[in-house]
């Protein structure tokens, strides 16, 4: 709503001060993107860099990271690499502590091993929980700890899933980890709000990435996905780029502890 101040114009007209849209720019800020060598993480790195942030790309594969960084450099964007397995909590904490505090975190490191719940192998359960939940939890904590120690605000974004809000065929383990991500994100947001550290999730539908190839190669599963997405198409990594910049920026300064659904209407019913 426009705010009216005291009359200061000839004829008694009211002067009006209009609000200004907060900036979506991220100039001068640093961002850490886990899982940045491909898929959603790579797209998030591009989006944040294009918005002006200096990005640090994190993944286990040095070659893939260097290729992504080189492509960003060709566009004149700021990027460096950090080879790291976020499942190694001690190594992750050391790496974050050795770096200046990151203003932005996008945690896109994740995996899935789908199958019927009755057939879940203990090794598969431990692998998915180890990365999607344990790794995500302690990476988020490490970045927040540095920000709070430095008395700096920040925006921490966990890439969750629509499966954090619904169930899915062959997805008991994956859905469990993403429900858990939603839980710790909300709790961390409550704890760290007083420090100006915002914590949110983005919940994509099925996105055209290597992670979803198993689903798309199964005609029955593909039909199930298309039937659920009300917008009538599979998601693309570009669909996540705008939401990442939004949550990272001052335009989302009053948003914390929430889940931004990018699911084409899947969870609307």
State the CB neighbour count (10 A cutoff) for residue 138: 18
Query: CA–CA separation, 208 vs 224, rounded Å?
Result: 15
Indicate if 174 belongs to the active site: yes
CA of 97: how far to CAs of 100, 130, 163, in Å?
7, 21, 32
Q: Is 136 helix (H, G, I), strand (E, B) or coil?
A: helix
Sole residue written with tokens 């298309």: 226
The two tokens of residue 156 are 């921490």
DSSP class of residue 207 equals B
Query: CA–CA separation, 80 vs 58, rounded Å?
Result: 9
Query: CA–CA separation, 152 vs 138, rounded Å?
Result: 19
Query: CA–CA separation, 75 vs 37, rounded Å?
Result: 17
Catalytic site residue from 174, 192, 206, 246: 174
Q: Are 109 and 58 in contact (CB under 8 A)?
A: yes
Q: Is 30 helix (H, G, I), strand (E, B) or coil?
A: strand
Positions annotated as catalytic residues are 174
């Amino acid at each position: 709503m426009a705010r009216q101040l005291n009359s200061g114009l000839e004829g008694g007209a009211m002067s009006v001060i209009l609000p200004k849209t907060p900036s979506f720019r991220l100039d001068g800020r640093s961002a850490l993107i886990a899982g940045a060598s491909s898929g959603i993480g790579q797209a998030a790195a591009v989006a944040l860099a294009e918005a002006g942030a200096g990005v640090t790309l994190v993944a286990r594969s040095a070659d893939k990271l260097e290729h992504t960084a080189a492509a960003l450099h060709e566009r004149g964007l700021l990027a460096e690499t950090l080879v790291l397995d976020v499942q190694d909590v001690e190594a992750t904490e050391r790496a974050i502590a050795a770096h200046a505090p990151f203003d932005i975190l996008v945690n896109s490191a994740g995996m899935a091993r789908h199958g019927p719940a009755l057939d879940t192998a203990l090794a598969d359960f431990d692998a998915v929980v180890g990365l999607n939940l344990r790794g995500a939890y302690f990476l988020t904590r490490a970045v927040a700890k540095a920000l709070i120690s430095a008395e700096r605000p920040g925006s921490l974004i966990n890439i969750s899933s629509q499966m954090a809000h619904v169930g899915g065929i062959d997805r008991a383990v994956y859905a469990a980890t993403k429900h858990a991500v939603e839980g710790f994100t909300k709790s961390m947001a409550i704890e760290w709000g007083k420090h100006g550290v915002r914590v949110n999730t983005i919940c994509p539908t099925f996105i055209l990435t290597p992670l979803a190839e198993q689903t798309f190669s199964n005609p029955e599963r593909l039909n199930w996905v298309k039937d659920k997405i009300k917008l009538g198409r599979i998601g693309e990594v570009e669909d996540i780029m705008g939401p990442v910049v939004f949550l990272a920026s001052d335009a989302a300064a009053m948003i914390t502890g929430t889940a931004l659904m990018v699911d084409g209407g899947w969870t609307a019913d």
